[in-house]
Amino acid sequence: MKTFIRCMLCLLLAVMGMPGWARDALPSWQDGDTKRAIVAFVEKTTREGGPDFVPVEARIATFDNDGTLWAEQPAYFQLMFVFDRIRALAPQHPEWKTTEPYRSVLAGDMKGLAAGGEHGLMALLATTHAGMTTDEFSATVRDWIATARHPETKRPYPAMTYQPMRELLAYLRAHGYKTYIVSGGGQEFMRPWVEQTYGIPPEQVIGSYGELRYELRDGTPVLVKEAKVGLVDDHAGKPVGIQRFIGRRPVLAFGNSDGDLEMLQWTTAGDGPRFAGLVHHTDGKREWAYDRASKIGTLDKALDMAGLRGWTVVDMARDWRVVYSNP
Amino acid sequence: MKTFIRCMLCLLLAVMGMPGWARDALPSWQDGDTKRAIVAFVEKTTREGGPDFVPVEARIATFDNDGTLWAEQPAYFQLMFVFDRIRALAPQHPEWKTTEPYRSVLAGDMKGLAAGGEHGLMALLATTHAGMTTDEFSATVRDWIATARHPETKRPYPAMTYQPMRELLAYLRAHGYKTYIVSGGGQEFMRPWVEQTYGIPPEQVIGSYGELRYELRDGTPVLVKEAKVGLVDDHAGKPVGIQRFIGRRPVLAFGNSDGDLEMLQWTTAGDGPRFAGLVHHTDGKREWAYDRASKIGTLDKALDMAGLRGWTVVDMARDWRVVYSNP
């Protein structure tokens, strides 16, 4: 009898270890076509001896961040960081009360800010991102991400990351995929928190960046952030960033806007099995609903291309059981 | 008796598994201070619970390439590649016979080439490195590395990599270190062969690079190499490249020239245990002997700094049993 029970336990454990019986690695995804497409792709590319097997060193997966891994409305969260920084630094700069674009930020005058155009925005970015060392900037971001709250949801920003996408990142890694961020957002703005939040280490974070200047301060070397742009990691800048940082073409890529179109094209133009995914913001109740007409995260050409090429489009309202991660 | 033998075997296996009894992972290194310093550092930084323990995600090791992982005399090997390419392309360019700097290269006139200065060299680099796609360039390099021979030793270039350093790379990886190349040489020139030769994947190769242009050719996306310089990954460019690509400070760094000084300073200025190493080319018999007065791989300020700071200096003649890897 004992032997029988032991055998049954053995068998049970063996069956539980089989793919079909595994604990659901994507519990926040509705069972449906989208989830099935993802799982089928991962299973076929990791099935040794199968026709679509991808060796582990080539399993590169790239993800956009804003609108793909976390929310991006009513404006990119890095812009919220900029505004928060301007407000925090204002007491040391009384002249800002009457100088644009600072005046508009401090007055909450978004129309005035818009009137300043790109020039005004670049000035704000330079003020809040340049002139300090990389260590100082990291500390500032770390402090902000731990304390700041989203103006509408009042949630901490890490609690506005998408739970289904975090599960997807972990699921891919459990299958030998190396997960990268390839974002138009600032590389140094993401690195201080994405390791804890997404499990993505700093060396796998590709983003827009400014130039750095190496210098000795009292004999100690520092890297100072400069206002000069190095890479704008958006649109055609994404394949460029991928080649620069990874030197291999991704097997799987996920985005949510036209800024990701070139990354998805570059990914799917490779030989063998490739997966392109788009997060479509269809859920005005739990999140925001927007696509072709939105200024933030415009999804127009890439949505057409997805239809033509059979890319996987995630319908947020239909495909996700849960949207946000727990705080 | 059987049980006794089984126990003895068990014990033997256990002892062989202990650090001190492990098979020598660095057989090409002479037993001496240098090897002891390396092993002591790796052991103390990987001893869990020890005061100098470094968690696995922070175990970043960066290596210069030219003069550190492979030879660099009588000129950087990438320059040999440039000359070989000019000779290979010459039949399609009859005008090169009378146009500098091509004429000098084709005539083997190094004086004439030197007279053209940096301007001439940049023209050669542009001709041989720009205008083609990244895939085309990779294929060209792969072909060259498989067939070209060094003008003096007549060895294939991969057989001019240093066996002791290849053992060191493998030894570090076996202890959880992530090994990177941080070289003044071209990133895209190294990537096609360093994975096989050093076990370093493309995403861990940092080097000098030019800008890339994304475009569609007959509907297929390509990345075209441009003549515009993006990063010169030498001197202060090395810490900049390290921050850009890795976003963490190395724990261990190895170089051989003044071009590596800033990388070693940046590395050793971090908190906790840090290791800086310099390969000193002291072996005129088996390799080349040069340091302060050499134009290629000048080792002057960094050698002084090594003395002041107690960095580890590898005396190639004394510390290495073997120099080159087998072809």
pLDDT (0 to 100) of residue B110: 87
Tell me the percentage of chain A whose pLDDT exceeds 90: 89
Phi, psi of A253, deg, nearest 5: -140, 145
- With cut-offs at 50, 70 and 90, classify the pLDDT of residue B23: confident
Chain A residue at shortest CA distance from B204: A246
The answer to whether A221 contacts B191, with C-beta atoms less than 8 Å apart, is no
The three-point CA angle A152-A154-A155 to 5° equals 120
Does A262 or B7 have the greater pLDDT score? Answer: A262
Residue B229 forms beta bridges with which residues? B210
Chain B residue at shortest CA distance from A58: B201
Q: Which residues, numbered 125 to 184 in chain B, qualify as contacts with chain A under a Cβ-Cβ cut-off of 8 Å?
A: 134, 178
Q: Which residues of B touch A246 (CB under 8 A)?
A: 202-203
How many angstroms away from the CA of A214 is the closest CA of chain B?
A: 6
The answer to whether A240 contacts B205, with C-beta atoms less than 8 Å apart, is no
Distance CA A181, CA A183 (A): 6
Nearest of B140, B156, B24 to residue B82 by alpha carbon = B140
> How many CB contacts within 8 angstroms connect chain A with chain B?
78
What ranges in A47-174 are assigned the alpha helix state H?
A: 77-89, 102-107, 110-115, 117-129, 134-147, 163-174
- With cut-offs at 50, 70 and 90, classify the pLDDT of residue A110: confident
Nearest of A221, A224, A244 to residue A232 by alpha carbon = A244
Q: Over range B193-204, report the average pLDDT.
A: 98
pLDDT (0 to 100) of residue B271: 96
pLDDT (0 to 100) of residue A6: 62
Q: Is the pLDDT of residue B13 over 70?
A: no
pLDDT (0 to 100) of residue B14: 55
Architecture of the A25-74+157-319 domain: 3-Layer(aba) Sandwich (3.40)
How many angstroms away from the CA of B92 is the closest CA of chain A?
A: 30
The answer to whether B248 contacts A212, with C-beta atoms less than 8 Å apart, is no
Chain B residue at shortest CA distance from A191: B247
| DSSP-derived secondary structure for A150-172 | -TTT--BGGGGBBHHHHHHHHHH
The answer to whether B212 contacts A240, with C-beta atoms less than 8 Å apart, is yes
CATH topology classification for B21-74+156-319: Rossmann fold (3.40.50)
B287 CB within 8 Å of a chain A CB: no
ipTM, 2 decimals? 0.92
DSSP state of A66: B
Distance CA A199, CA A170 (A): 8
Lowest mean pLDDT across A79-83, B53-57, B117-121, B205-209? B117-121
The answer to whether A187 contacts B247, with C-beta atoms less than 8 Å apart, is yes
pLDDT (0 to 100) of residue A180: 98
Q: Which residues of B touch A134 (CB under 8 A)?
A: 243
Single-letter amino acid code for the residue at A76: Y
Nearest to B269 among A57, A187, A220 (CB): A220
Helix axis angle for A77-89 and A117-129, nearest 10°, is 70
- First-to-last CA distance in chain A? 49
B270 CB within 8 Å of a chain A CB: no
Q: Over range A124-148, report the average pLDDT.
A: 96
CB B305 within 8 A of CB B264: yes
The answer to whether A266 contacts B221, with C-beta atoms less than 8 Å apart, is yes
| Cβ burial, residue A118 (10 Å; 0-12/13-18/19+) | exposed
Phi, psi of A68, deg, nearest 5: -110, -45
Residue A225 forms beta bridges with which residues? A212
The answer to whether A269 contacts B187, with C-beta atoms less than 8 Å apart, is no
CB A129 within 8 A of CB A225: yes
Chain B residue at shortest CA distance from A241: B212
Q: Is the pLDDT of residue A155 over 80?
A: yes
pLDDT (0 to 100) of residue B118: 87
Distance CA A292, CA B195 (A): 43
CA distances (Å), origin A52, targets A35, A48, A55: 19, 9, 10
Q: What is the pTM of this model?
A: 0.93
Mind listing the pLDDT tens digit for each residue in B272-320? Answer: 999 999 999 999 999 999 999 999 999 999 999 999 999 999 999 999 9
> What is residue B30's three-state secondary structure?
coil
Q: Is the pLDDT of residue B15 over 60?
A: no
B202 CB within 8 Å of a chain A CB: yes
| Cβ burial, residue A196 (10 Å; 0-12/13-18/19+) | exposed
Nearest of B22, B324, B313 to residue B164 by alpha carbon = B324
The answer to whether A202 contacts B245, with C-beta atoms less than 8 Å apart, is no
Mean pLDDT of chain A: 94
The answer to whether B240 contacts A220, with C-beta atoms less than 8 Å apart, is no
Mind listing the pLDDT tens digit for each residue in A244-294? Answer: 999 999 999 999 999 999 999 999 999 999 999 999 999 999 999 999 999
The answer to whether B247 contacts A203, with C-beta atoms less than 8 Å apart, is yes
CB A200 within 8 A of CB A220: no
Nearest to A245 among B203, B221, B269 (CB): B203
Q: Which residues of A touch B247 (CB under 8 A)?
A: 187-188, 191, 202-203, 205
What ranges in chain B are assigned the alpha helix state H?
A: 2-16, 33-46, 77-89, 102-107, 110-115, 117-129, 134-147, 163-174, 187-198, 237-245, 261-268, 301-309, 316-319
Q: What residue has token string 């990438």?
A: B78
Mind listing the pLDDT tens digit for each residue in B105-154? Answer: 999 998 999 898 889 988 999 999 999 999 999 999 999 999 999 999 99
Q: Is the pLDDT of residue B324 over 70?
A: yes
Helix axis angle for B187-198 and B163-174, nearest 10°, is 80
Nearest to A201 among B57, B191, B221 (CB): B57
Q: Which residues of B touch A236 (CB under 8 A)?
A: 213-214
- With cut-offs at 50, 70 and 90, classify the pLDDT of residue B7: low
Q: Which residues, numbered 41 to 60 in chain B, qualify as contacts with chain A under a Cβ-Cβ cut-off of 8 Å?
A: 57
> What is residue B295's three-state secondary structure?
coil
The answer to whether B248 contacts A202, with C-beta atoms less than 8 Å apart, is yes
Extents of the domains making up chain A? 25-74+157-319
Distance CA B297, CA B258 (A): 7
The answer to whether A247 contacts B205, with C-beta atoms less than 8 Å apart, is yes
Nearest to B239 among A191, A221, A230 (CB): A221
CB A261 within 8 A of CB B221: no
Nearest to A191 among B213, B237, B247 (CB): B247
